[in-house]
Amino acid sequence: MPLRIVTVKVEERVVELLDKVARMSGGSRSELIREAIYMYLKSRGVVISRSEVMVSRPKFHDRAPVIEVDV
């Protein structure tokens, strides 16, 4: 399925953390955000089949390190 660009605004610190986790996980910021969106939708009862979406690597939460930050 083709990907569509969606623009969101977040605090600079959040972007820095996203980039750090993405680097540590060997993926991109976009992949990390996509996975977070899928996880959020699933938590709300919306199930998206993996055949409906383009996934190029394993889920981030399966390998991402735990980073604790104050927000």
Q: Compute the distance between CA of residue 60 and CA of residue 71 in angstroms, rounded to an integer.
A: 21
Q: What is the pLDDT of residues 9-46, one digit of tens each?
A: 999 999 999 999 999 999 999 999 999 998 999 899 98
- The answer to the question of residue 2 being in a domain is no
**What's the pLDDT at 56?**
45
For the chain, what is the domain count? Answer: 1
Asked, for residue 46, whether it belongs to a domain, the answer is yes
pTM, two decimal places: 0.67
20 inside domain: yes
Return the structure tokens found at 29.
């910021």
pLDDT tens profile 9-18: 999 999 999 9
Residues 6+ apart with CB under 8 A from 1: 52, 53, 54
pLDDT given for residue 58 in this prediction: 46
Residue 69 lies in a domain: no
- For 43, the domain range is 12-55
